Amino acid sequence: MYDKCCKCAGNILPGQPVFQLAIGKYFPPAITPTMPVHLGNWHKDHVNESVFRPQGQPYHCAICNDEIAGTEQVLYGVIGKQPEWCWIRAESRGYVMQLVACKKCWGTEQIKQLLDEATVGETRRENLQYPRRGGGQHGR
């Protein structure tokens, strides 16, 4: 079974560029937070990357600009390659994250606006895979 794009509902095949949105805990010096909740994937060409401020460590919230502390829970987005069907976490993510938001900013109108603008309009909410539990490196 392949992941579906949250924008077009089309299959995202292994190796294709993907934008992945998740919630996890940040444990520096690890680049990517944990992934206990996978929110969804988009084909990379369905994402307007110009709205993001890709950043390396130390990370700052895209909304309030507060520095993300170690062990803090965050909403985050990365661009990578879709893994084989039995894995969840995008591969070849690089050393930056496209989106990082602290927990106090998740439910704000600003984050909704940012995500709607980034995903080129209203996302097909029924395609969000929420919540998906697990460590990110296990079968579905």
pLDDT in tens, the chain (140 residues): 568 898 888 999 999 999 999 999 999 999 999 988 888 899 999 999 888 989 999 999 999 999 999 899 999 999 999 999 888 889 999 899 999 999 999 888 888 888 888 886 555 544 444 333 333 333 33
Residue-level pLDDT at 111? 86
Residue-level pLDDT at 2? 67
71's torsion region: left (phi>0), alpha (psi -120 to 50) or beta?
left
Nearest in space to 55 (alpha carbons), one of 26, 87, 34, 82: 26
Residue-level pLDDT at 1? 53
CA distances from 27 to 50, 52, 58, 68 (A): 27, 22, 11, 10
Contacts of 34 (CB under 8 A, 6+ apart): 24, 25, 27, 135, 136
Domain boundaries, the chain: 3-121
